[in-house]
């Protein structure tokens, strides 16, 4: 920790800071600068109590941490890329994956139609919401267990692995029974109890970025998964909330190189939530592929205008097939399969 | 709903839109304007399936809802101010309330010291976290049930009512047993399962605004409480996330007149989270009082620099006493007690 | 400057950093911590070339400045409050000021009606735009010099001092001839050439906060005024851009205590731009008064619905009179006149 | 325009709205819905006075425009892509362009070294700031005319066309004399007087997106160029301001498909300002190419750590050469040269 003292403080005030630093187990190191005195507090910031509360003292101007707060998700802890294996599909390796399906599971007919279509077009995972977090209590909340069963049925028929959202600690066992990957949604990205419950099922976790989460906070939320003995973590960027109103969210594609730099975990892009507009999805996917994403998570519906949720952002099966074709040359260009 | 069609579409494309509007139970009403054709879809937007998914059709330029999406929390539904009574304290009436206490309950000694001090200074509620949501898994997570018991003990001694955070559905019964008001934190403001579980305990709910929640989303989250048969809802503004880095959050005091205009529920301001800096808390409180807030939620710690969490924003008992003195003339000026 | 080195770098890489620090005139001071080596670079950051570019070196993890970048506007440079005198009105002293008038000067009739009304209600300054920055080129751009002449005429009749916006370097002389205070608008808050031209007229400058300006950037923009030999600077908060759509901007009232803490210059609040809604203006003004603002800048129009610009946020003369009445007890409560 | 009336208003209040709509030249069209009465006001919103000010009336709940506010920049006005020709380089056509050079022109030696290096690597334009807008008045403000002369010299030697920033109306003639494209920076993106002055020089204009500009506002700022008889407009995305602190700005790559959809003008990406970190620039460029950008604007410096401005985000000539190699397969994949 670096502690910057205010100018013109007394010797006694300075001594009090030094004493407190020592009391918390750090070794203080004084540097007298031109305009300010700076104290380096030497000690492991990840194990010692933080000194950030010293900002509360009138003689302290600022306190700056030196170490990063995340450990297990960090590239420092695991210099090579980690991969997550799901029913024979390795995410984070040379092969690129596409996870596709409806926003919500609505009926057997709807789900099977989509599952077959996305399988044919080349997807390896089927996505679909059985439990849906909805802004209003009056909106469709998902089919629940019935939806999970339909997902399992679609998997049995098509061979696609299943990813679906977990939104309650109380459903963790149930959802884990049916799903191959548990998705944690943006509104629950800092619902730490849910993260712990999800991690403990042992299933791979796809952690969406919270709508207003800084990269550091996202990595620390991931740390909740890894520190609960679950090494199978996927980070999924799905757009952040900004002042822009043309799109529903602002998809932050810089998250791809940043996560690759700071962490060893695979990175997935969700362009459907990320833009909220089907007409932008294909372009966003192209960018994601070129920038090194490991997979895409795309919403596909047989008839988006009739969807029970988020119709504006779902692709038709035809558009999805075109997407799969359009990204081929880019995958080749970046050396992915 | 208002549906704006794109210019230069065919008659057939227009007819398809009209047919779909009718199919969903609305009555279409066409207006041919100078540059665009606009269709009014007449029908109750709160009971009919939404038409917003029509945006997915290539002939549709935009779809705009006409009705508000929240009902029970709205001023329309309940034109007079509602109040919430807790152990004889009426929040939302003429009497102004101050809820104060430490960020985290750390020990009996710490909690009792604060409880006595804030009681003496005029607070009517004791706040204190027993279960703490922390950005990093390596930070102090709260004393849990032991903390709840200490809160109950402090209540028994001082007569202060207790407000504490609920962060897991699984703790709902437990926390409700000890607390007088259940607080839902900013990271869980759209954790709808938690909102439902909290509502069902029957205890009053203080709902903090999510860090990046629009007013409409906040009101709809409140709707989850009222529609689950719990009429005792308090909205608490605690700062939103912006680009500013001087403060931890940007306290949006305009939430006070806005919530008063749109809803009948009481409004509470949390200036501690809202600024993240003790040196700004008193000024923020003055603004909140003048603008018509019904209560304040303030963090107080016997020795903030030694606090186990959020030390930078907690007031000393002395500063808290000064705050209570400073707001008196303002309370008088706005006709509050 | 504090330079944090990456872990596991070579001795040679470290030496290169030390050499470069010395080359730029700083004295390096090494601290070997548990996980990182930290170098304090001692020297005046306000006169030496910055070391922030070292972040470009592969062995450097982060570079943190220690000193604040603003000098003349800072409280350190001028510990007591500064005041700005305009035609006998002292802004920043015990007397509170209200600047009121239409968004745009539209006609003699309109301006005179407003000027008389706001004068009667207690305003001391008349505001009104003669040159208007408009988002679209097809919107009303202001009456130009004709508007300035009308403002001067209104001043002659009512005795109100005049504040109006300057939006082009080329108009600096012209606008300064008519106005008592030059207003720099939010879109020009980092138009440094305009700031310099405005400062050089010698007239007091009201500097609005840029829509997405951090406090530090705002203070540095003010530094352009003071460093160009013009000591008469007023900071005006007018709302920042956030994700919220209920209001046009989010009025950041915390700017009042922050500017008071960091700077000696007066602080003014513009609740009209700050909320974009007349129905919120009075509440925002109350907060501003209670929190210690030195003046208000309020839009008033004889018939807001017919205004040529920003009608949604202008008060009627009647509402303005009510505002002036409503803030009296609060002014008394905070000891202002 | 669509005007939504509040529920439970009187007949007289409704009539007043209808009268005002007619007075402004629109034809009102009433739709009585289930919960609200909605009025369609038929007339050209681009030529009639706006009705948005009606929001000020107590009986009006909301006012929604139907038409888009931009005309000349819109795809509707010019369905095919427009191109901008500069010294034989056609921007917006099949050939992809890279504009590269230092943030600031510092010396002949520095500029020539970069110019030769970027030319060799394949750039077609040389960028370099001669007039620099700096957050602090104490930072390097550019070499001014001397810098412009060096740029002209580099052009003479290398054949690269020159792009440089214009930041003052008073410099418009001067900068236009030396530059092939005038760049308008993010802080001046709504400095409309500067936009008009730049447009009137007849030179092509590269308009950076303002830090907190919505797409619609950016398009309207472009409208200032086209409506001042200058058809040569390039939109340049350079990152928006968000809550994220890992990067200096958040590069919004979705701007590429959005601008392509709404406008006919070419789109350019600036990944250097957009991320503020050299280590992210190459990845961002790959995304931009794949998503259909027409050109890149990249900062290159012979020794970034010694740069006089923005050293953290400038590439070395070696990294720039690698960038040019890395994007080749992607250009091929999207059918660009």
pLDDT tens track for C225-240: 999 999 999 999 999 9
Does some domain include residue A74? Answer: no
DSSP A96: -
Q: Is the pLDDT of residue D219 over 80?
A: yes
Instruction: Look at chain A and report how many structural domains it folds into.
Output: 2
pTM of the full structure: 0.94
Q: Decide if B300 contacts B278 (C-beta within 8 A).
A: no
Q: Which residue of B66, B212, B242 is in closest CB contact with D38?
A: B66
Find the distance separating the first CA and the last CA of chain A, reported in whole Å: 45
For residue D240, give the chain A residue with the closest CA: A242
Q: Which residue of C2, C7, C29 is in closest CB contact with A64?
A: C2
- Chain A partners within 8 Å of C64 (Cβ): 2, 64
| DSSP reduced 3-state for D142 | coil
Cβ neighbors of A210 (< 8 A, separation 6 or more) are A186, A187, A189, A190, A217, A218, A221
Q: Which residue of B7, B34, B212 is in closest CB contact with D42?
A: B34
- Chain C partners within 8 Å of D304 (Cβ): 53, 56
Contact criterion met (CB < 8 Å) for A43 and C34: yes
Contact criterion met (CB < 8 Å) for C253 and B251: yes
CB hemisphere CA count around B328 (13 angstroms): 9
Contact criterion met (CB < 8 Å) for B258 and C280: yes
**End residue of a domain, out of A14, A36, A64:** A64
Tell me how far apart the alpha carbons of residues C209 and C221 are, in angstroms, rounded to a whole number: 9
- pLDDT for the residue D314: 87
- Chain B partners within 8 Å of A71 (Cβ): 138
| DSSP reduced 3-state for A266 | coil
- pLDDT for the residue A151: 98
pLDDT digits (tens, 9 = 90+) for C198-209: 999 999 999 999
Tell me how far apart the alpha carbons of residues C139 and B258 are, in angstroms, rounded to a whole number: 29
Nearest-neighbour CA in chain C from A214: distance (Å)? 16
Q: Share the mean pLDDT of chain D.
A: 93
Would you place residue A329 in the very low, low, confident or very high pLDDT band (cuts 50, 70, 90)? very high
Q: Please choose, from the candidates A134, A272, D38, the residue with its C-alpha nearest in 3D space to the C-alpha of residue B3.
A: D38
Contact criterion met (CB < 8 Å) for A33 and C76: no
Nearest-neighbour CA in chain B from D139: distance (Å)? 22
Contact criterion met (CB < 8 Å) for A240 and D240: no
Same domain, A42 and A189: no
Region of poorest pLDDT, from A235-239, C205-209, D3-7, D48-52: D48-52
- For residue B39 the two structure tokens come to 């269709």
Q: Which residue of D52, D56, D168 is in closest CB contact with C169?
A: D168
Contact criterion met (CB < 8 Å) for A136 and B212: no
Asked casually if ipTM beats, i.e. exceeds, 0.95, the reply is no
Which regions of B55-196 does DSSP assign to beta strands (E)? 60-64, 84-86, 89-91, 97-101, 125-127, 161-165, 181-184
- pLDDT for the residue A276: 81
- Chain D partners within 8 Å of C247 (Cβ): none
Identify the residue whose tokens are 């006609």: C107
- For residue D308 the two structure tokens come to 């006089």
Q: Is the pLDDT of residue A64 over 90?
A: no
Contact criterion met (CB < 8 Å) for C332 and B333: yes
Mutation for testing the A interface, residue in D216, D254, D296 having most A CBs under 10 Å: D254
Does some domain include residue B78? Answer: no
Q: Share the mean pLDDT of chain A.
A: 93
Same domain, A53 and A90: no
Q: Decide if D226 contacts D73 (C-beta within 8 A).
A: yes
Q: Beginning with the edge strand found earlier in the chain, give each strand of the sheet holding B27-32 in spatial order.
A: B27-32, B37-42, B2-5, B60-64
- Chain D partners within 8 Å of A214 (Cβ): 243-246
Cβ neighbors of A195 (< 8 A, separation 6 or more) are A184, A188, A205, A207, A221, A224, A225, A228
Does some domain include residue B69? Answer: no
The arithmetic mean of pLDDT across residues C267-295, rounded, is 94
Name the β-bridge partners of C250. C240
Q: Which residue of A244, A245, A253 is in closest CB contact with D253?
A: A253
Tell me how far apart the alpha carbons of residues C82 and C78 are, in angstroms, rounded to a whole number: 8
The arithmetic mean of pLDDT across residues D143-171, rounded, is 97
Would you place residue C46 in the very low, low, confident or very high pLDDT band (cuts 50, 70, 90)? confident
Q: Decide if D241 contacts B241 (C-beta within 8 A).
A: no
For residue A241, give the chain C residue with the closest CA: C243
Q: Decide if B235 contacts B267 (C-beta within 8 A).
A: yes
- pLDDT for the residue D74: 95
Tell me how far apart the alpha carbons of residues C258 and C260 are, in angstroms, rounded to a whole number: 5
Q: Is the pLDDT of residue D281 over 90?
A: yes
Identify the residue whose tokens are 């508000």: B68
Does some domain include residue D71? Answer: no
Q: Could you give the dihedral angle defined by the CA atoms of residues B283, C333, C273 and C187, in that order, rounded to the nearest 10 degrees?
A: -50
Contact criterion met (CB < 8 Å) for D292 and A283: yes
Tell me how far apart the alpha carbons of residues D243 and A240 are, in angstroms, rounded to a whole number: 9
Region of poorest pLDDT, from A135-149, A211-225, B22-36, C283-297: B22-36
- pLDDT for the residue A116: 98
Chain C contacts to A (CB-CB under 8 A): 2, 4, 7, 29, 31-36, 38, 40, 42-46, 64, 66-67, 76, 212, 241-243, 245
Backbone angles phi, psi at D227, to 5 degrees: -75, -5
Same domain, D179 and D210: yes
The arithmetic mean of pLDDT across residues C252-261, rounded, is 97
- pLDDT for the residue A286: 97
Q: Decide if D306 contacts C53 (C-beta within 8 A).
A: yes
Q: Could you give the dihedral angle defined by the CA atoms of residues A120, A125, A130 and A133, in that order, rounded to the nearest 10 degrees?
A: -120
Mutation for testing the B interface, residue in D27, D243, D261 having most B CBs under 10 Å: D243
Mutation for testing the B interface, residue in D34, D71, D239 having most B CBs under 10 Å: D34
- pLDDT for the residue C54: 85
Contact criterion met (CB < 8 Å) for A36 and C242: no
Mutation for testing the B interface, residue in A137, A217, A245 having most B CBs under 10 Å: A137
Mutation for testing the A interface, residue in B21, B173, B187 having most A CBs under 10 Å: B187
Nearest-neighbour CA in chain A from D262: distance (Å)? 11
Contact criterion met (CB < 8 Å) for B67 and D241: no
D105 Rama sector, left if φ>0, alpha if ψ -120 to 50, beta otherwise: beta
Contact criterion met (CB < 8 Å) for B287 and C290: yes
CB hemisphere CA count around B74 (13 angstroms): 11
Task: Write down which chains contact chain B via at least 3 CB pairs under 8 A.
Answer: A, C, D
pLDDT digits (tens, 9 = 90+) for C148-159: 999 999 999 999
Same domain, B29 and B160: no
Name the β-bridge partners of D163. D127, D181
- pLDDT for the residue B328: 97
Walk along chain B (337 residues) in steps of 10 and give the mean pLDDT of each run: 88 91 90 86 80 83 87 93 97 97 96 98 97 89 96 98 97 98 97 97 98 97 97 98 94 97 97 86 97 97 82 88 97 94
Q: Is the pLDDT of residue C49 over 80?
A: no
Same domain, D116 and D215: yes
Backbone angles phi, psi at B274, to 5 degrees: -65, -25
Which domain CATH number covers C24?
3.30.70.1140
Would you place residue D275 in the very low, low, confident or very high pLDDT band (cuts 50, 70, 90)? confident
Same domain, C44 and C91: no
Q: Which residue of D40, D44, D67 is in closest CB contact with B40?
A: D40
Chain A contacts to C (CB-CB under 8 A): 2, 4, 7, 29, 31-36, 38, 40, 42-46, 64, 66-67, 76, 212, 241-243, 245
Which residue would you say has higher pLDDT here, A230 or C138?
Answer: A230
Q: Is the pLDDT of residue C327 over 90?
A: yes
Does some domain include residue C78? Answer: no
Same domain, A33 and A167: no
Q: Is the pLDDT of residue C50 over 90?
A: no
pLDDT digits (tens, 9 = 90+) for A263-278: 999 999 999 988 888 8
- Chain C partners within 8 Å of A44 (Cβ): 34-35
Q: Please choose, from the candidates D142, D66, D153, the residue with its C-alpha nearest in 3D space to the C-alpha of residue D108.
A: D153
Contact criterion met (CB < 8 Å) for D288 and A288: no
Which domain CATH number covers B174?
3.20.20.70
Which residue would you say has higher pLDDT here, C275 or B29?
Answer: B29
Between helix A255-262 and helix A215-226 the angle, nearest 10°, is 50
Q: Please choose, from the candidates A34, A36, A64, A39, the residue with its C-alpha nearest in 3D space to the C-alpha of residue A50.
A: A64
- For residue D319 the two structure tokens come to 């990294």
Contact criterion met (CB < 8 Å) for B291 and C287: yes
Tell me how far apart the alpha carbons of residues A328 and D106 are, in angstroms, rounded to a whole number: 44
**End residue of a domain, out of D29, D64, D99:** D64
Task: Report how far Cα B76 is from the mean position of its chain's Cα atoms.
Answer: 19
Same domain, C196 and C264: yes
For residue B62, give the chain D residue with the closest CA: D66
Same domain, D130 and D210: yes
Strands B267-269 and B233-237: parallel
Q: Is the pLDDT of residue C69 over 80?
A: yes
- pLDDT for the residue A335: 94
CB pairs under 8 A between A and C: 60
Cβ neighbors of C12 (< 8 A, separation 6 or more) are none
Does some domain include residue D102? Answer: yes
Tell me how far apart the alpha carbons of residues A269 and A100 are, in angstroms, rounded to a whole number: 12
Task: Write out the residue range of the structural domain in which residue B231 sits.
Answer: 84-333
Identify the residue whose tokens are 């390039």: D234
- Chain C partners within 8 Å of A31 (Cβ): 29, 31, 40, 42
- pLDDT for the residue D64: 87
Give the C-alpha distances (Å, rounded to integers) separating D227 from C217, C249, D76, D231, D232. 33, 28, 16, 8, 11
For residue C29, give the chain A residue with the closest CA: A31
Region of poorest pLDDT, from A2-11, A188-197, D177-186: A2-11
Would you place residue C44 in the very low, low, confident or very high pLDDT band (cuts 50, 70, 90)? confident
The arithmetic mean of pLDDT across residues D218-229, rounded, is 97
Same domain, B49 and B156: no
The arithmetic mean of pLDDT across residues D297-325, rounded, is 89
Same domain, D164 and D238: yes
Nearest-neighbour CA in chain C from A149: distance (Å)? 38
CB pairs under 8 A between C and D: 122
Tell me how far apart the alpha carbons of residues C324 and A264 are, in angstroms, rounded to a whole number: 61
Does some domain include residue B71? Answer: no
Q: Share the mean pLDDT of chain C.
A: 93
Does some domain include residue A249? Answer: yes
Task: Report how far Cα B289 is from the mean position of its chain's Cα atoms.
Answer: 17
The arithmetic mean of pLDDT across residues A76-87, rounded, is 95
Same domain, B34 and B172: no
Mutation for testing the B interface, residue in C219, C286, C319, C326 having most B CBs under 10 Å: C286
Q: Is the pLDDT of residue C18 over 90?
A: yes
Among A44-48, B329-333, C13-17, name the most confident range.
B329-333
């Amino acid at each position: 920790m670096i502690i910057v003292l205010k100018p013109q403080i007394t010797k006694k005030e300075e001594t009090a800071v030094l004493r407190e630093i020592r009391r918390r187990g750090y070794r203080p190191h004084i540097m007298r600068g031109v305009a300010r005195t700076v104290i380096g507090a030497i000690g492991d910031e990840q194990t010692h109590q933080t000194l950030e509360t010293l900002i509360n003292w009138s003689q302290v101007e600022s306190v700056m941490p030196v170490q990063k707060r995340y450990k297990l998700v960090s590239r420092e802890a695991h210099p090579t890329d980690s991969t997550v294996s799901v029913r024979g599909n390795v995410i984070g390796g040379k092969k690129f994956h596409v996870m596709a399906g409806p926003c919500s599971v609505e009926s057997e007919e709807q789900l099977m139609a989509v599952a077959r279509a996305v399988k044919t077009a080349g997807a390896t995972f089927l996505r679909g919401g059985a439990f849906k977090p909805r802004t209003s209590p009056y909106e469709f909340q998902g089919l629940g267990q019935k939806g999970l069963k339909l997902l399992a049925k679609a998997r049995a028929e098509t061979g696609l692995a299943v990813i679906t959202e977990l939104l309650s600690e109380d459903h963790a066992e149930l959802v884990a029974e049916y799903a191959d990957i548990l998705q944690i949604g943006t509104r629950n990205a800092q619902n730490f109890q849910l993260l712990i419950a999800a991690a403990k099922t042992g299933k791979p976790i796809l952690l969406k970025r919270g709508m207003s989460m800084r990269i550091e906070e996202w990595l620390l939320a991931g740390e909740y998964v890894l520190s609960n003995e679950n090494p199978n973590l996927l980070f999924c960027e799905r757009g952040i909330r900004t002042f822009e109103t043309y799109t529903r969210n602002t998809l932050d594609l810089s998250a791809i190189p940043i996560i690759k730099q700071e962490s060893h975990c695979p990175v997935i892009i969700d362009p459907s939530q990320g833009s909220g507009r089907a007409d932008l999805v294909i372009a966003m996917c192209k960018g994601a592929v070129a920038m090194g994403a490991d997979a895409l998570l795309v919403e596909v519906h047989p008839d988006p205008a009739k969807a029970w949720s988020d119709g504006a952002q779902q692709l038709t099966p035809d558009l999805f097939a075109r997407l799969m074709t359009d990204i081929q040359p880019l995958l080749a260009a970046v050396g992915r399969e």
